[in-house]
Amino acid sequence: MKIDAKLTPQKLQKKVDRLFDLAGQKIHLINKSWDSSKGTPVFTEQGKYTSKGWTEWTQGFQFGMQFLQYDATGEEEYLELGRAKTLKHMASHVSHIGVHDHGFNNVSTYGNLRRLMLEGAIPFNQHELDYAEIALKVSGAVQAARYASTNQTTPWSPVKGSPGVVPGGYIYSFNGPQSLFSDTVRSMRSLSVAHQLGHVLMGEGDKPINLLHRSITHAATTSRYNVFFGQGRDIYDIRGRVAHESIFNRNDGQFRCSSTQQGYSAFSTWTRGAAWIICGYPEQLEFLDTIDDRELKAVGGRKAVTNLFLETAKAASDFYIDGYSAKDGVPYWDSCALNTHKLGNFTKQNADPFNDHEPVDSSAAAIAAQGFLRLGKYLTEKDSAAAGKKYTQAGLTIANTIFDEPYLSTDPKHQGLILHSIYHRPNGWDHTPKGRKVPCGESSMWGDYHAMELALLIQRMGGGEYHNFF
């Protein structure tokens, strides 16, 4: 990836404004045709959002986009749409025991509504705040209840000399208690917000279970088994490579093997899985800054937790930048998919979404870019200005690419906002246009949402402000 060191949030403002102009149009297009009886909009086929009855993990992005649109533009109609749709459709997601997606669905809706009120962007309403906070408390607890223990009792850290954190358990995926997804780290914000609100999960015998500790343990287990550091157990591997899934023996909690659901293999990097890591850990670093040292003693202390989160974020970020993204910052869907060798030296060229060999994934780019900006800000504020600038500029470089053609969807009939997103390549779920050999030209609800979240973050940075949920 060739990082543009001269970009600033201010220089991207025209592109940000154009993106939100288009986003408003797309929101109305979706609302006109969406039939709630057919499920949640997930990805487009020939420009129209369709559903896929796997899990309803994208509903929160659909309505969260409306809150983001109001935040960016101040146009009341989007606020009212977000409010009405959240109230009508999101209750079942709050108590959904079958998924690991609570941070996606509920923080994107109830969380955005609460955030807007606390920021003073909308009038204070105690009743509305109460129902949003109850939803967030329950959501965080339900997410935390999807917990499986490992057999680990010894603290571990990717940083030499750090006291470490015990990778003692994880929030398991919809595949079952044996499965740990890299995706779920970004969904840990449901536990973070619930903890911030003073909530706990109540277990057997009225035992309170600390949501903060459970989220940190999950992050430690993800770092230990889903991210590779090129040392110790990982000496055979590449620093920063991410495995989408880890499998554990549920009889004794032992790690068994790396795996993948949506990537090419267990020994390559599914780039959207890595993007969730890149985005999730810096966001949790921001959350840590709101936590008192005393609350972290039970999980190894602030130094141990911070070192683990920071090194994991940097490793995955560095591999994205130097290992597999194209010159303009957009990655192909997997770092080592079957036909990537036919692309030539693709890291030295701009990504080609219309190539004949492997699809790009713009959604991975949008998610990762936000992570780079958050990591850059964190490092800059912690007296690592040079490192911080590297990641900040990487995030801006990606935004500069995807906020323009051929990624920005300017067709007034296309319901998607960001083109060339990939959902599930191994299952063949992505639309391949007539005359093309690989999928291209389509959008995803998570890609559109995260592009808008990225644009909002850049908009605020350009005005000397910031955007987070904590």
Q: Which 8-state DSSP code applies to residue 330?
A: P
383 has a pLDDT exceeding 90: no
The first and second tokens of residue 170, run together, are: 């994880």
Q: What value does the mean pLDDT take over residues 130-139?
A: 98
64 has a pLDDT exceeding 80: yes
pLDDT value of residue 52: 83
Q: Is residue 146 part of a domain?
A: yes
Which strands make up the sheet holding 179-181, listed edge to edge?
A: 179-181, 245-248, 255-259
pLDDT value of residue 335: 97
pLDDT value of residue 232: 83
Q: Is residue 4 part of a domain?
A: no
392 has a pLDDT exceeding 90: yes
Q: Is residue 470 part of a domain?
A: no
| Euclidean distance between CA atoms 439 and 270, whole angstroms | 16
pLDDT value of residue 341: 95
Q: Is residue 136 part of a domain?
A: yes
Which CATH number fits the domain that encloses residue 380?
1.50.10.10
pLDDT value of residue 454: 98
Q: Is 105 helix (H, G, I), strand (E, B) or coil?
A: helix
Residue with tokens 């010894």: 154
Q: What value does the mean pLDDT take over residues 70-85?
A: 98
Domain span holding position 14: 10-462
Q: Is residue 303 part of a domain?
A: yes
Q: In this structure, how many other beta carbons lie within 10 angstroms of the beta carbon of residue 422?
A: 28
Q: Is residue 5 part of a domain?
A: no
Q: What is the count of structural domains for the chain?
A: 1
Q: Is residue 181 part of a domain?
A: yes
Q: What value does the mean pLDDT take over residues 74-81?
A: 98
Q: Helices in 343-444 by DSSP H: which ranges?
A: 362-381, 385-402
pLDDT band at 198 (very low <50, low <70, confident <90, very high): very high
234 has a pLDDT exceeding 90: no
The first and second tokens of residue 359, run together, are: 């699809």
pLDDT value of residue 235: 87
Angle of helix 211-226 versus helix 271-288 axis, rounded to 10 = 140
Q: Is residue 1 part of a domain?
A: no
The answer to whether the CB of 9 falls within 8 A of the CB of 372 is no
pLDDT band at 433 (very low <50, low <70, confident <90, very high): very high
20 has a pLDDT exceeding 80: yes
pLDDT digits (tens, 9 = 90+) for 400-423: 999 999 999 999 999 999 999 999
pLDDT digits (tens, 9 = 90+) for 245-281: 999 999 999 999 999 999 999 999 999 999 999 999 9
Better pLDDT: 157 or 55:
157
54 has a pLDDT exceeding 90: no
What mean pLDDT, rounded, does the chain reach? 96
